């Protein structure tokens, strides 16, 4: 019941904000929380510039309860019209500013978060984040863009995996990695990644 009330309140809110002509109708209901280009707002994380494949998998994860967030779960549950969902997601996937990719090897003596990102930690069996998230954390395929994402959101996600509150990543690929990260590393990785422009 309460959910329904929240939902209807949301709808009114959204009708008022999203009007930009170049945004497909299907995506307009997302803009309130994710921004007109999916850049993120105080109500929701960045989703612009991530692959459609990744975004769609997350909608499914919210629907199936493998990720939990009152507002977004409700939104996801409303996205049952698959062709409409596709239009919304492909709009956001096409956003996101291009990045000048820092390649593996461009810098050598690294420390902290940047070192974990580009070199990993062999002793703990932690592969470099780069191996999966790519140059400058731009992402692609099943791998989300991390560059420019809100720091708090990034940290929350890594912690959610550690607490077994987020799943749905194929073969627990990311959960296995998050479990090996220390709390201070999570903080510094989140800060580092969110600052990449």
Largest CA distance in the chain: 56
Question: In this chain, which of 122, 164, 182, 197 binds other proteins, going by CB under 8 A?
Answer: 122
Which residues on adjacent β-strands are paired with residue 44?
41
Q: Strand pairing partners for 140?
A: 143
Six-digit token pair at 53? Answer: 């494949």
**Contacts with ligand HEC, 76-105, as mask; x by CB under 6 A:** ---x--------xx----------------
Distance between CA 14 and CA 181 in Å, rounded? Answer: 38
CA 69/CA 75 separation, integer angstroms: 10
Asked if residue 193 lies in contact with residue 136, where contact means CB atoms within 8 angstroms, the answer is no
Query: Interface mask (CB under 8 A) for other proteins, residues 154-193, using x and -?
Result: ----------------xxxx-xxx----------------
Sole binder of ligand HEC in the list 3, 53, 97, 131 (CB under 6 A): 131
Which of 35, 38, 40, 139: binder of other proteins (CB under 8 A)? 139
Is the CB of 101 or the CB of 191 nearer to other proteins? 101
Please say which residue, 14 or 121, places its beta carbon nearer to other proteins. Answer: 121
Q: Which one of 9-17, 22-30, 81-89, 105-113 is the stretch in contact with other proteins (CB under 8 A)?
A: 105-113
Do 76 and 3 meet the contact criterion of CB atoms below 8 Å apart? no
Q: Which two tokens stand for residue 109?
A: 């003596």
Answer yes or no whether residue 132 interacts with ligand HEC by CB under 6 A: yes
* Cα–Cα nearest to 172, from 77, 74, 180, 191: 180
Contacting positions for other proteins (CB under 8 A): 98-99, 101, 103-106, 108-111, 119-120, 122-123, 125-128, 130-136, 138-143, 170-173, 175-177
């Amino acid at each position: 019941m309460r959910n329904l009330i929240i939902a209807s309140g949301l709808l009114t809110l959204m009708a008022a904000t999203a009007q930009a002509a170049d945004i497909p109708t299907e995506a307009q209901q997302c803009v309130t929380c994710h921004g007109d280009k999916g850049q993120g707002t105080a109500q929701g994380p960045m989703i612009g510039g991530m692959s459609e494949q990744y975004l769609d998998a997350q909608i499914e994860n919210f629907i199936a309860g493998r990720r939990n967030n009152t507002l977004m779960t409700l939104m996801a549950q409303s996205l049952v019209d698959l062709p409409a969902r596709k239009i919304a997601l492909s709009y956001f996937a096409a956003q996101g500013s291009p990045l000048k990719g820092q390649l593996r090897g461009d810098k050598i003596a690294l420390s902290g978060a940047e070192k974990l990102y580009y070199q990993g930690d062999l002793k703990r069996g932690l592969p470099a984040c780069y191996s999966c998230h790519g140059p400058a954390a731009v992402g692609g395929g099943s791998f989300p863009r991390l560059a420019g994402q809100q720091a708090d959101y990034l940290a929350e996600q890594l912690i959610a995996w550690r607490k077994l509150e987020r799943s749905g990543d194929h073969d627990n690929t990311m959960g296995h990695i998050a479990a090996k990260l220390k709390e201070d590393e999570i903080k510094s990785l989140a800060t580092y990644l969110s600052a990449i422009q």
